């Protein structure tokens, strides 16, 4: 059993796990009882079957609750399994020996019964002895009265069931783990109190607790060193958020988010996200771009409750990302970079599963599933197992999972990586149609995709949000206007470069120099293009140019120039 550390997921998935485990247990207990009945063992044939049924009924519940308790202590399910197996094995051995010491009729120490395997085996020992011993009568239902040892033995495991489950739920919420937001040890008291306070206050910011607003304001003291590579748009965005000049209904508000990782392999702590602050309005696809290691996944993992931030973080659909995770989970959809699907579940079964996880009510779930399938054109595959889907169909199913229940914020992590151009365009259409009443956060390494889908783009590098604007403004700010490129034979490249450079206006920049391909950016100047075109065409052969062209600056050019420049600066930190 895998440890699930996140409290809301614990609460939502454990009842289903509990029932599934109990059904498995009931089947195995029934098989066991039937086999014993077939062999007509005295213990089973003489002991009142209602007593046996009651004992096994209680034992099953107790053992599942106990296994939940142990699973909450260990990160690895295998460790929990081995420990529980050893504990039960030794308990049987100890119980068998203790039955020799404390024969039926002798007082069994009550503290012994606290450990439920001891209690269960003691009860079995008692019933067994009474069915065999010529001096005793087999156990009947009428014997089960207060004062009787079997009765007393049954009480202990019954009382323990809610205790084990309660402790398991508590430990799952407060123990540290790699994933999920850890709750403070006092959360069973403080969270209901906070919820009470919230419901009795009128708030000014989409339901945000004023207390957490105050604490966010305190965190507004920005570390100048951390933010020196931000451009003026990013700084203006921080000021906008600090001053409350944003639509309070914005589904995504990130405030002063910082994340410090403990160092890996002896290295010092790593500041992976540096005071990132922005808000995204409804109906917007927000592109989060950046090179590997920029901090995008960390930022998204904090917003989706997978990692804990090192400071306050902000709100999602009006709920505090760290404090109201249960509410946040109901309002987000996530399409991870790699499809997380079950081979043996059909398309519709996946969607029903996630519909229930998101708390969609039973009468509404069929419609929600149908809409989700229709949105991604998978209706005709409703009953197909996911292992029978192509890569593109699996991706569409993952997107449908993210979109089911119309969440306020959807995170799409590289949704089209590895897909053919046709499927990519299909997915772009899906994303574009889905954005109406929500915010979509898209991470991608494809500038073409960002340009096609995003109304706002933030480019991160080394934990800092470097720029934040719409694609056109980014090109105006960081693109120099036009680009000229050529290729030549290796020996001719210096000559060809010198020739092209002599024709370019002041302010040109070499942006690419790879093998025999060279490209430059240059500012747009009236009349320049026709002159450049004419001269290069006339003299390209004598300067060793095999092929050449002129184009406008793309988002890719912006990305390359911005990141290489700033990363060089940041490296010098
Ligand atoms: N658990 C961790 N412990 C320590 N450092 C980490 C941890 N996870 C990530 N980092 C570091 O934090 C930085 C940001 O990583 P992150 O995964 O957020 O980047 P990213 O922008 O998502 O990169 P990619 O595009 O490659 O997925 C990196 O330098 C990474 O090495």
Output the CA 450–ligand 1 centroid distance in Å.
21
- What is the structure's pLDDT at 498? 93
Whether 293 is in the pocket of ligand 1, judged by its Cβ within 6 Å, is: yes
DSSP states of 157-178:
HHHHHHHHHHHHHHHHHHS--S
Tell how far the Cα of 195 is from the centroid of ligand 1, in angstroms.
34
CATH assignment of the domain containing 462: 3.40.50.300
Q: Are residues 168 and 288 in the same domain?
A: no
pLDDT value at 68 more than 80: yes
Query: 382 C-alpha vs ligand 1 centroid, how far in Å?
Result: 37
Q: What is the pLDDT of residues 149-175, one digit of tens each?
A: 888 888 888 999 999 888 888 887 777
Same domain, 362 and 452: yes
Burial (CB count within 10 angstroms: exposed 0-12, middle 13-18, buried 19+), residue 327: middle
Task: Give the distance (Å) from ligand 1 centre to CA of residue 120.
Answer: 50
Taking residues 536-558, report their average pLDDT.
88
**Domain shared by 234 and 329, yes or no:** yes
Q: How far is the CA of 271 from the centre of ligand 1 (A)?
A: 10
What span, in angstroms and rounded, lies between the C-alpha atoms of 373 and 388?
16
261 touches ligand 1 (CB under 6 Å): yes
Question: Residue 29: is its pLDDT beyond 70?
Answer: yes
Question: Is residue 76 very low, low, confident or very high in pLDDT (cuts 50, 70, 90)?
Answer: low
Instruction: Judge whether 17 lies within some domain.
Output: yes
Based on the domain organization, do 119 and 237 belong to the same domain? Answer: no
> What would the pLDDT profile of 282-320 be if each residue is shown by its tens digit?
999 999 998 888 889 889 888 888 887 777 678 888 888
Residue 201: pLDDT over 50:
no
Question: H helices of 454-492, where?
Answer: 471-478
Confidence check: pLDDT of 351 > 90: yes
In a domain, 280, yes or no: yes
Please work out whether the CB of residue 270 comes within 6 Å of at least one atom of ligand 1. Answer: yes
Interval between CA 463 and ligand 1 midpoint (Å): 9
Phi and psi angles of residue 456, each rounded to the nearest 5 degrees, phi first: -135, 145
Same domain, 98 and 242: no
Residue nearest to atom 4 of ligand 1 (CA): 261
**For residue 354, is pLDDT > 70?**
yes
Task: Please determine, for residue 7, whether its predicted confidence score (pLDDT) is greater than 60.
Answer: no
What is the per-residue pLDDT for 269? 76
pLDDT, mean of residues 121-145: 84
State if residue 301 touches ligand 1 by the CB under 6 angstroms criterion: no
Considering only residues 445 and 263, tell me which one the structure prediction assigns the higher pLDDT: 445
Shared-domain flag, residues 430 and 516: no
Instruction: Indicate which atom in ligand 1 lies nearest the CA of residue 337.
Output: 27
**178 confidence band (pLDDT: 50, 70, 90):** low
Q: What are 383-417's pLDDT values in tens digits?
A: 999 999 998 899 999 999 999 988 999 999 988 88
Mean pLDDT along residues 319-344? 86
The answer to whether residue 219 is domain-embedded is no
Look at 9-18, 189-198, 255-264 and tell me which has the smallest mean pLDDT: 9-18
Measured in Å, residue 292 CA sits from the centre of ligand 1 at 8
pLDDT score of 8: 46
Among 290, 291, 298, 571, say which to mutate for ligand 1: greatest number of ligand atoms within 8 Å of CB: 298
Distance 299 CA to ligand 1 centre (A): 10
The residue among 410, 443, 471 that closes a domain is: 471
As a whole number, mean pLDDT of residues 121-134 equals 83
Question: Which atom of ligand 1 is found nearest the CA of 290?
Answer: 21
- CATH number of the structural domain spanning residue 487: 3.30.70.2190
Evaluate if residue 455 carries a pLDDT over 90. yes
Q: Tell me which H or E stretch contains 216.
A: helix 210-218
Give the contacts of 67 (CB within 8 A, at least 6 positions apart). Answer: 1, 21, 80, 84
Could you tell me if residue 559 is inside a domain? Answer: no
Supply the pLDDT for residue 5: 41
Q: If you average pLDDT over residues 198-207, what whole number do you get?
A: 41
Among 32-46, 163-177, 196-210, 287-301, name the most confident range: 287-301
Q: What is the pLDDT of residue 225?
A: 66
Phi-psi region of 504 (alpha: psi -120 to 50; beta: other; left: phi over 0): beta
Whether ligand 1 lies within 6 angstroms of the CB of 240 is answered as no
Nearest CA to ligand 1 atom 24: 292
State the pLDDT at residue 352.
Answer: 94
Q: How far apart are CA 306 and CA 328, in angstroms?
A: 12
Q: Are residues 144 and 235 in the same domain?
A: no
Quick check: CB of 544 below 6 Å from ligand 1? no
Quick one: 307 and 348 in the same domain? yes
Q: Is the CB of 336 under 6 A from ligand 1?
A: no
How far is the centre of ligand 1, averaged over its atoms, from the C-alpha of 337 (Å)?
Answer: 14
Q: Is residue 203 part of a domain?
A: no
User: Would you say residue 432 lies in a domain?
Assistant: yes
Going by C-beta distance under 8 Å and a sequence separation of 6 or more, which residues neighbour residue 168?
65, 68, 69, 71, 72
Among left, alpha and beta (phi > 0; psi -120 to 50; other), residue 79 is: alpha
Please give the pLDDT value at position 278.
94
CA–centroid distance, 295 to ligand 1, in Å, is: 6
Å from CA of 460 to ligand 1 middle: 12
Question: What is the C-alpha separation between 313 and 308, in angstroms, rounded?
Answer: 9
Q: Greater confidence, 384 or 204?
A: 384
Asked if residue 189 is part of any domain, the answer here is no
Residue 224: per-residue pLDDT = 66
pLDDT-based confidence at 353, cuts 50/70/90?
very high
Average pLDDT, the chain: 81
Least confident segment among 82-86, 334-338, 543-547: 82-86
> From the CB of 298, is ligand 1 less than 6 Å away?
yes
Give ipTM to 2 decimals: 0.97
User: Do residue 385 and residue 511 come from a single domain?
Assistant: no
Does 435 map to a domain?
Answer: yes
Query: Do 467 and 519 sit in the same domain of this protein?
Result: no
Percent share of the chain, pLDDT over 90: 25
The CB of 297 under 6 Å from ligand 1? The reply is yes
Percent of the chain, pLDDT > 70? 85
- Per-residue confidence at 350, pLDDT binned at 50, 70, 90? very high
**Residue-level pLDDT at 483:** 84
How high is the pLDDT of residue 573? Answer: 45
Take atom 22 of ligand 1 and give the residue whose Cα is closest.
297
Domain containing 128 equals 6-174
Q: Is the CB of 458 under 6 A from ligand 1?
A: no
Choice among 227-231, 308-312, 444-448, 453-457 with the minimum mean pLDDT: 308-312
pLDDT higher than 60, residue 100? yes
Total count of domains within the chain: 3
∠ CA 333-258-267, rounded to 5°:
110
Ligand 1 atom with the smallest distance to the CA of 463 is 14
Bigger pLDDT: 267 vs 203 = 267
pLDDT tens string 359-387 = 888 889 999 999 999 989 899 999 999 99
Q: Is the minimum distance from the CB of 290 to ligand 1 under 6 angstroms?
A: yes
Please tell me whether residues 246 and 349 are part of one structural domain: yes
pTM of the model: 0.63
Task: List the residue whose alpha carbon is closest to atom 30 of ligand 1.
Answer: 293
Tell me how far apart the alpha carbons of residues 441 and 287 are, in angstroms, rounded to a whole number.
Answer: 6
Same domain, 51 and 128: yes
Identify the domain boundary among 471, 499, 529.
471
């Amino acid at each position: 059993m895998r440890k699930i550390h996140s409290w809301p997921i614990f609460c939502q998935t454990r009842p289903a796990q509990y029932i599934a485990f109990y059904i498995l247990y009931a089947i195995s207990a029934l098989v066991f009882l039937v086999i014993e009945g077939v062999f007509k063992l005295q213990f089973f044939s003489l002991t009142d079957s209602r007593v046996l049924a009651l004992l096994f009924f209680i034992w099953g519940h107790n053992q599942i609750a106990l296994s939940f308790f142990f699973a909450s202590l260990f990160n690895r399910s295998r460790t929990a399994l081995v420990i529980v197996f050893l504990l039960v094995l030794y308990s049987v051995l100890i119980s068998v020996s203790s039955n020799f010491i404390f024969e039926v009729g002798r007082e069994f120490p009550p503290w012994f019964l606290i450990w439920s395997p001891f209690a269960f085996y003691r009860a079995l020992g008692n019933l067994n002895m009474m069915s065999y011993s010529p001096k005793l009568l087999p156990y009947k239902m009428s014997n089960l009265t207060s004062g009787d040892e079997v009765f007393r033995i049954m009480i202990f495991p019954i009382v323990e069931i809610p205790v084990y489950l309660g402790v398991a739920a508590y430990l799952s919420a407060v123990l540290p783990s790699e994933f999920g937001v850890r709750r403070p040890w006092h959360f069973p008291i403080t969270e209901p109190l906070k919820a009470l306070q919230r419901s009795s206050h009128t708030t000014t910011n989409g339901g945000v607790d004023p207390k957490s607003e105050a604490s966010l304001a305190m965190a507004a003291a920005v570390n100048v060193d951390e933010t020196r590579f931000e451009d003026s748009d990013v700084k203006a965005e921080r000021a906008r958020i600090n001053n409350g000049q944003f639509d309070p209904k914005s589904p995504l508000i990130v405030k002063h988010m910082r994340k410090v990782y403990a160092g890996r392999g002896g290295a010092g702590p790593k500041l992976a996200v540096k005071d990132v602050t922005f808000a995204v309005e409804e109906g917007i696809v927000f592109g989060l771009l950046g090179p590997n290691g920029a901090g995008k996944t960390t930022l998204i993992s904090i917003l989706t409750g997978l990692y804990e931030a090192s400071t306050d973080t902000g709100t999602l659909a009006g709920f505090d990302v760290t404090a109201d995770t249960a509410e946040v989970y109901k309002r987000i959809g996530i399409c991870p970079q790699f499809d997380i699907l079950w081979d043996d579940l059909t398309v519709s079964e996946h969607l029903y599963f996630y519909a229930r996880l998101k708390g969609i009510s039973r009468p509404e779930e069929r419609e929600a599933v149908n809409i989700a399938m229709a949105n991604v054109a998978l209706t005709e595959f409703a009953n197909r197992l996911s292992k029978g889907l192509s890569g593109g169909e699996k991706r569409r199913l993952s997107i449908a999972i993210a979109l089911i229940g119309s969440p306020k914020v959807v995170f799409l992590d590289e949704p089209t990586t590895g897909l053919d151009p046709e499927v990519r365009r299909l997915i772009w259409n899906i994303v574009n149609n889905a954005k109406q009443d929500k915010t979509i956060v898209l991470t991608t390494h494809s500038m073409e995709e960002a340009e096609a889908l995003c109304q706002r783009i933030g480019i991160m590098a080394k934990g800092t949000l470097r720029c934040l604007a719409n694609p056109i403004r980014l090109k105006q700010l960081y693109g120099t206007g036009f680009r000229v490129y050529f290729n030549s034979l290796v020996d001719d490249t210096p000559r060809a470069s010198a020739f092209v450079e002599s024709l370019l206006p002041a302010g040109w920049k070499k942006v690419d120099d790879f093998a025999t391909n060279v490209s430059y950016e240059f500012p747009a100047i009236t009349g320049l293009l026709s002159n450049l075109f004419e001269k290069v065409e006339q003299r390209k052969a004598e300067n060793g140019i095999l092929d050449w062209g002129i184009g406008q600056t793309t988002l890719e050019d912006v990305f390359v120039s911005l990141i290489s420049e700033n990363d060089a600066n940041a490296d010098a930190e």
